[in-house]
Amino acid sequence: MNISFFNELLSSISDRGRALLDLSIGASRETIEELSQALLTSRGEASGVALGRQILDKYRQLEDDAKLAFFKFLAVNFVPESKSVSEAASRYLFDPGEESLRTLVRAVESPKQEYFRRLNLAPGATANIVALRADLLRLVGENRDLKPLDRDIEHLLSSWFNRGFLVMRLIDWNTPAAILEKIIAYEAVHEIKGWRDLRRRLEPRDRRCFGFFHPSLVDEPLIFVEVALTDSVPGSIQSLLQKQGEGETPLIRADRDPKTAVFYSISNCQPGLTGISFGNFLIKQVVSDLSREIPSLKTFVTLSPMTGFARWLIKYLETATDNISEQQREKLTFLVSGDRKAYDDDQDLADIVLPLAVEYLVDAKNASGQPLDPVARFHLGNGARLERVNWRGDLSKKGIKQSFGVMVNYLYELSEIEKNHESYVNEGFVAISKSVRQLSKQSLAGSGNQFGKLRQSNLSHSK
């Protein structure tokens, strides 16, 4: 391997970026639509770089309505010729051989794909195309006819942003401010309140932050995850986010080696890459790298929110009658306001809420039969195990409101991931720990509700 040589390579990327600015002066008189047409002709073959640059220059100056018009232009004009497709389809039906298939493949390929491939010749184009898709996604909601255009771009981007091309990178206090600024802006789970707060999450020896980057998007993290190194599996997010100024306790004592790595926040950064999944790869790579760097680490676990739990529970209470007193019912309904004091006053709710939390995570499914909870869907889909539900896990107003303060630990055990994922995908089974099974039985025993059956079969597979 040959790092140092390649390091210099990248200056070219940078230089190309700069050149972009320099040369954008001599703007074309042609419209963006004319330039786009030209890009797909032989002129595009000869001058793809220049045409691409001009198109992107023009695009950046468009207002939303002009962007919409441009998108519609692409959507309408850059489509496979239906005559060719029909001919190729007929031919295939008549003679379904390799040659016919090939003709058919060529006939159906969207010219938009070639269009964006050529657009990408321009310096710094990839970042611009990602930004363009972010615009498109904003506009596609009210313009469903742009959906195919979006699909074409997504297809291309998922090829370009294949995990094989991503680079994982430690983000710490020596990272350039221009990147860190984006970490502050992109943090989606537990807000970072300025540079001091950021420093607390990056600098202490019991903290880590990793991101994926792409060689053509040098300045932009694609996704990042924040990690805390601790003794044991934590149940409370406030204990992790507490300030670590002078006189405060670090997460691990200076003379001890950390045993547990806690993923307590994971944020996607690029709206333009929506639908292209990085989180799964990022977590597994971090598990693998941290294992090597810090051999004392034995447990890799998340501390995750249950974003839809309270909403689900309130609705559930409307139908379920058994085992929950009217008073408790009222109390729970009130807590959705996020009142911390009311929450602190009642210590008994845990016995009711925690079994239901398990029920929510394990049994509540959406229309596609997947867990209703998006975070559960993500981690269970990755092959993680539902390890623990924690009372008083998030005592912020938001935490009480959305999940009565309950937080969840999902466990990433590398040796189990494949098996868990396959059971989950193929049979719909959720891997759960003993403690979760215990809670699950409580809920089951008392309720006899409609989820019972599924969960029972489920439990027999859990460990």
Beta carbon nearer to a second copy, 328 or 370 = 370
98 binds a second copy (CB under 8 A): yes
Amino acid at 15: D
**Of the residues 190, 214, 267, 379, which is catalytic?**
379
- Determine if 296 is a binding residue for a second copy (CB under 8 A): no
Residue of the chain from 188, 418, 453, 456 that contacts a second copy (CB under 8 A) = 418
Residues 350 and 316: their CA atoms lie apart, in Å, by: 17
Smallest distance, Å, CB 301 to a second copy? 18
Which residues are CB-contacts of 314 (< 8 A; sequence separation ≥ 6)? 332, 333, 336
Gap between the Cα atoms of 460 and 187, Å rounded: 38
**Out of 272, 279, 371, 383, the residue judged to bind a second copy by CB under 8 A:** 383
Tell which residue, 438, 372, 386, 436, has the closest CA to residue 416. Answer: 386
CB of 277 to a second copy, least distance (A): 10
Q: Does 410 bind a second copy (CB under 8 A)?
A: no
Helix, strand or coil, per DSSP, at residue 407: strand
Contacts of 228 by beta carbon, 8 Å cutoff, 6+ apart: 206, 207, 234, 240, 251, 261, 262, 264
Integer Cα distance of 236 and 303 in angstroms: 8
Only one of the segments 95-103, 350-358, 428-436, 445-453 lies at the binding site for a second copy (rule: CB under 8 A); that segment is 95-103
Q: Which of residues 28-47 bind a second copy (CB under 8 A)?
A: 42-43, 45-47
Say which DSSP state 250 is in.
P
Residue of 336, 365, 350, 373 whose CA lies nearest to 443: 350
Binding residue for a second copy, selected from 102, 243, 298, 397, defined by CB under 8 A: 102
| Residue 284 binds to a second copy (criterion: CB under 8 A) | yes
Let me know if 379 is a catalytic residue: yes
Count of alpha carbons within 13 Å of 40, Cβ hemisphere only? 16
CB of 60 to a second copy, least distance (A): 15
Piece of 63-71, 113-121, 233-241, 343-351 that binds a second copy (CB under 8 A):
113-121
Closest separation in Å from C-beta 192 to a second copy: 12
By CB under 8 A, the residues from 153 to 212 that bind a second copy are 156, 159-160, 162-165, 167-169, 173-181, 194-195, 199
Burial 12-36 (b: 16+ CB within 10 A, else e): eeeeeeeebeeeeeeebeeebeebb
Interacting residue with a second copy among 27, 34, 76, 86 (CB under 8 A): 86
Contact call for residue 8 and a second copy (CB under 8 A): yes
Binding test (CB under 8 A) with a second copy, winner from 18, 253, 298, 461: 18
Known catalytic residue at 304: yes
119-148 positions binding a second copy, by CB under 8 A: 120-122, 125-126, 148
Closer Cβ to a second copy, 182 or 398, answer by number = 182
Beta-strand relationship, 260-268 and 407-411: unpaired
- Total binding residues toward a second copy, as defined by CB under 8 A: 89
Query: Which residue, 365, 383, 387, is CA-closest to 374?
Result: 365
Q: What residues are labeled active site?
A: 304, 379
